[in-house]
Amino acid sequence: MKVLVVGANGQIGKHVVSLLQDSDNFDAKAMIRKQEQVSYFEELGAETALVDLEGEIEEIAKAAEGVDAVVFTAGSGGHTGKDKTVMIDLDGAVKTVEAAKQAGVKRFVMISSFDTRRKAIQEANESFAPYVAAKHYADEWLKDADLDYTIIHPGFLTNDEGNKKVTFGMDVEAGKVPREDIARTIVASLENDSTVGKEFQVVGGNTPINEAIKSV
Protein backbone atom coordinates (compact mmCIF):
# COMPACT_ATOMS: atom_id res chain seq x y z
CA MET A 1 0.00 0.00 0.00
CA LYS A 2 1.39 3.40 -0.96
CA VAL A 3 0.53 6.16 1.53
CA LEU A 4 0.72 9.91 0.95
CA VAL A 5 1.77 11.56 4.20
CA VAL A 6 0.67 15.20 4.27
CA GLY A 7 2.74 17.17 6.74
CA ALA A 8 5.54 14.62 6.43
CA ASN A 9 8.18 17.00 7.73
CA GLY A 10 6.32 17.49 11.01
CA GLN A 11 7.24 15.54 14.13
CA ILE A 12 4.46 12.95 13.76
CA GLY A 13 4.87 12.88 9.99
CA LYS A 14 8.54 11.92 10.17
CA HIS A 15 7.73 9.04 12.50
CA VAL A 16 4.96 7.87 10.16
CA VAL A 17 7.17 7.91 7.07
CA SER A 18 9.91 6.00 8.89
CA LEU A 19 7.48 3.36 10.16
CA LEU A 20 5.90 2.93 6.73
CA GLN A 21 9.30 2.52 5.10
CA ASP A 22 10.31 -0.05 7.71
CA SER A 23 7.17 -2.08 7.01
CA ASP A 24 6.89 -4.82 4.41
CA ASN A 25 3.33 -3.74 3.63
CA PHE A 26 3.71 -0.02 2.94
CA ASP A 27 5.58 2.58 0.92
CA ALA A 28 5.47 6.24 1.91
CA LYS A 29 5.16 9.28 -0.31
CA ALA A 30 6.14 12.34 1.70
CA MET A 31 4.35 15.59 0.83
CA ILE A 32 6.68 18.40 1.84
CA ARG A 33 6.96 22.12 1.19
CA LYS A 34 10.67 22.82 0.78
CA GLN A 35 13.36 21.43 -1.52
CA GLU A 36 15.85 21.24 1.36
CA GLN A 37 13.58 18.70 3.09
CA VAL A 38 13.82 16.20 0.21
CA SER A 39 17.14 14.56 1.13
CA TYR A 40 15.90 13.45 4.57
CA PHE A 41 13.10 11.40 3.03
CA GLU A 42 15.16 10.14 0.10
CA GLU A 43 17.59 8.65 2.62
CA LEU A 44 14.64 6.70 4.05
CA GLY A 45 13.83 5.47 0.55
CA ALA A 46 10.57 7.41 0.43
CA GLU A 47 9.16 9.13 -2.63
CA THR A 48 8.56 12.87 -2.22
CA ALA A 49 6.16 15.47 -3.58
CA LEU A 50 6.87 19.19 -3.27
CA VAL A 51 3.51 20.81 -2.58
CA ASP A 52 2.48 23.85 -0.55
CA LEU A 53 -0.60 22.98 1.49
CA GLU A 54 -1.75 26.58 1.09
CA GLY A 55 -1.79 26.10 -2.68
CA GLU A 56 -4.44 24.66 -4.97
CA ILE A 57 -6.44 21.45 -4.53
CA GLU A 58 -5.22 20.25 -7.92
CA GLU A 59 -1.59 20.34 -6.73
CA ILE A 60 -2.42 18.13 -3.75
CA ALA A 61 -4.52 15.84 -5.98
CA LYS A 62 -1.54 15.39 -8.31
CA ALA A 63 0.58 14.31 -5.32
CA ALA A 64 -2.17 11.84 -4.38
CA GLU A 65 -2.28 10.18 -7.80
CA GLY A 66 -1.41 6.51 -7.60
CA VAL A 67 -1.52 6.20 -3.81
CA ASP A 68 -3.85 3.95 -1.83
CA ALA A 69 -4.30 6.09 1.27
CA VAL A 70 -3.79 9.63 2.54
CA VAL A 71 -2.65 10.49 6.06
CA PHE A 72 -3.11 14.11 7.17
CA THR A 73 -0.65 15.00 9.93
CA ALA A 74 -0.15 18.68 9.08
CA GLY A 75 -0.75 21.36 11.69
CA SER A 76 -0.16 25.06 12.11
CA GLY A 77 1.70 24.57 15.39
CA GLY A 78 1.27 26.30 18.70
CA HIS A 79 3.21 29.45 17.85
CA THR A 80 1.24 30.67 14.85
CA GLY A 81 -1.75 32.99 14.69
CA LYS A 82 -5.39 32.38 13.88
CA ASP A 83 -4.67 32.99 10.20
CA LYS A 84 -2.44 29.89 9.94
CA THR A 85 -4.90 27.89 12.01
CA VAL A 86 -7.54 28.59 9.36
CA MET A 87 -5.20 28.07 6.41
CA ILE A 88 -3.61 24.79 7.56
CA ASP A 89 -5.85 23.08 10.12
CA LEU A 90 -9.12 23.90 8.34
CA ASP A 91 -8.56 24.93 4.74
CA GLY A 92 -5.53 22.68 4.25
CA ALA A 93 -7.36 19.69 5.70
CA VAL A 94 -10.49 20.29 3.62
CA LYS A 95 -8.45 20.74 0.44
CA THR A 96 -6.63 17.48 1.15
CA VAL A 97 -9.95 15.66 1.55
CA GLU A 98 -11.15 17.10 -1.76
CA ALA A 99 -7.83 16.24 -3.40
CA ALA A 100 -8.16 12.63 -2.25
CA LYS A 101 -11.60 12.50 -3.85
CA GLN A 102 -10.28 13.98 -7.09
CA ALA A 103 -7.45 11.43 -7.16
CA GLY A 104 -9.81 8.54 -6.43
CA VAL A 105 -8.22 7.71 -3.07
CA LYS A 106 -10.78 6.27 -0.64
CA ARG A 107 -8.71 5.64 2.51
CA PHE A 108 -8.04 8.71 4.66
CA VAL A 109 -6.58 8.99 8.16
CA MET A 110 -6.89 12.37 9.89
CA ILE A 111 -4.90 13.49 12.92
CA SER A 112 -7.21 15.84 14.77
CA SER A 113 -7.25 17.48 18.21
CA PHE A 114 -8.03 15.60 21.43
CA ASP A 115 -11.67 16.73 21.56
CA THR A 116 -13.37 18.55 18.70
CA ARG A 117 -16.98 18.25 19.81
CA ARG A 118 -19.09 21.42 20.14
CA LYS A 119 -18.75 21.41 23.91
CA ALA A 120 -14.96 21.41 23.61
CA ILE A 121 -15.09 24.53 21.44
CA GLN A 122 -17.33 26.28 23.94
CA GLU A 123 -15.12 25.34 26.89
CA ALA A 124 -11.77 26.17 25.23
CA ASN A 125 -10.02 29.39 26.21
CA GLU A 126 -9.98 32.33 23.81
CA SER A 127 -6.63 31.49 22.25
CA PHE A 128 -7.33 27.76 21.80
CA ALA A 129 -10.96 27.90 20.66
CA PRO A 130 -10.16 28.83 17.01
CA TYR A 131 -7.91 25.77 16.71
CA VAL A 132 -10.56 23.44 18.15
CA ALA A 133 -13.19 24.96 15.87
CA ALA A 134 -10.96 24.53 12.82
CA LYS A 135 -10.36 20.88 13.68
CA HIS A 136 -14.08 20.36 14.37
CA TYR A 137 -15.15 21.52 10.92
CA ALA A 138 -12.29 19.69 9.18
CA ASP A 139 -13.41 16.48 10.92
CA GLU A 140 -17.03 17.06 9.94
CA TRP A 141 -16.04 17.70 6.33
CA LEU A 142 -14.16 14.41 6.24
CA LYS A 143 -17.09 12.50 7.74
CA ASP A 144 -19.37 13.83 4.99
CA ALA A 145 -16.91 13.14 2.16
CA ASP A 146 -17.86 9.50 1.46
CA LEU A 147 -14.31 8.32 2.15
CA ASP A 148 -13.09 5.40 4.24
CA TYR A 149 -11.97 7.65 7.06
CA THR A 150 -10.37 7.21 10.46
CA ILE A 151 -10.04 10.23 12.77
CA ILE A 152 -7.45 10.01 15.54
CA HIS A 153 -7.69 12.42 18.49
CA PRO A 154 -4.33 12.43 20.32
CA GLY A 155 -3.84 13.63 23.86
CA PHE A 156 -1.07 16.01 24.88
CA LEU A 157 1.78 15.19 22.51
CA THR A 158 5.30 14.59 23.82
CA ASN A 159 8.62 13.65 22.30
CA ASP A 160 9.16 10.85 24.80
CA GLU A 161 10.13 7.48 23.38
CA GLY A 162 7.01 5.49 22.63
CA ASN A 163 6.30 2.25 24.47
CA LYS A 164 3.65 0.95 22.04
CA LYS A 165 0.98 1.03 24.78
CA VAL A 166 -2.09 3.28 24.79
CA THR A 167 -5.65 3.86 25.91
CA PHE A 168 -8.31 4.32 23.23
CA GLY A 169 -11.87 5.64 23.56
CA MET A 170 -14.07 8.67 22.98
CA ASP A 171 -14.33 9.80 26.58
CA VAL A 172 -10.93 8.94 28.00
CA GLU A 173 -9.27 11.12 30.59
CA ALA A 174 -6.94 13.66 29.00
CA GLY A 175 -3.30 12.70 29.24
CA LYS A 176 0.04 12.60 27.50
CA VAL A 177 0.99 10.42 24.56
CA PRO A 178 4.30 10.18 22.67
CA ARG A 179 4.21 11.29 19.04
CA GLU A 180 5.92 8.03 18.15
CA ASP A 181 2.94 6.07 19.49
CA ILE A 182 0.51 8.24 17.56
CA ALA A 183 2.49 7.37 14.43
CA ARG A 184 2.25 3.68 15.34
CA THR A 185 -1.51 4.14 15.82
CA ILE A 186 -1.77 5.62 12.33
CA VAL A 187 0.00 2.65 10.77
CA ALA A 188 -2.09 0.19 12.82
CA SER A 189 -5.24 1.98 11.62
CA LEU A 190 -4.16 1.55 8.01
CA GLU A 191 -3.60 -2.15 8.68
CA ASN A 192 -7.03 -2.69 10.26
CA ASP A 193 -10.22 -2.10 8.29
CA SER A 194 -12.14 -2.15 11.58
CA THR A 195 -11.07 1.49 12.04
CA VAL A 196 -12.88 2.65 8.90
CA GLY A 197 -15.65 5.10 9.76
CA LYS A 198 -14.36 5.43 13.32
CA GLU A 199 -12.84 8.15 15.48
CA PHE A 200 -11.16 7.74 18.84
CA GLN A 201 -9.02 9.51 21.41
CA VAL A 202 -5.55 8.20 22.20
CA VAL A 203 -3.50 8.71 25.37
CA GLY A 204 -0.74 6.74 26.99
CA GLY A 205 -1.90 3.55 28.67
CA ASN A 206 -1.28 -0.12 29.28
CA THR A 207 -2.80 -1.79 26.22
CA PRO A 208 -0.54 -2.68 23.27
CA ILE A 209 -1.52 -0.63 20.20
CA ASN A 210 -2.16 -3.65 18.00
CA GLU A 211 -4.51 -5.05 20.63
CA ALA A 212 -6.24 -1.73 21.37
CA ILE A 213 -6.90 -1.07 17.69
CA LYS A 214 -9.03 -4.21 17.45
CA SER A 215 -11.44 -2.83 20.05
CA VAL A 216 -12.20 0.36 18.11
Q: Which residues are catalytic?
A: 131
**Residue 184, burial from CB neighbour count under 10 angstroms (0-12, 13-18, 19+):** buried
SS3 180: helix
CA distance 135 to 73: 12
Q: What are phi and psi of 17, to 5 degrees?
A: -60, -45
CA distance 194 to 70: 17
Element (H, E) at 153: strand 148-154
SS3 track for 4-20: EEECCCCHHHHHHHHHH
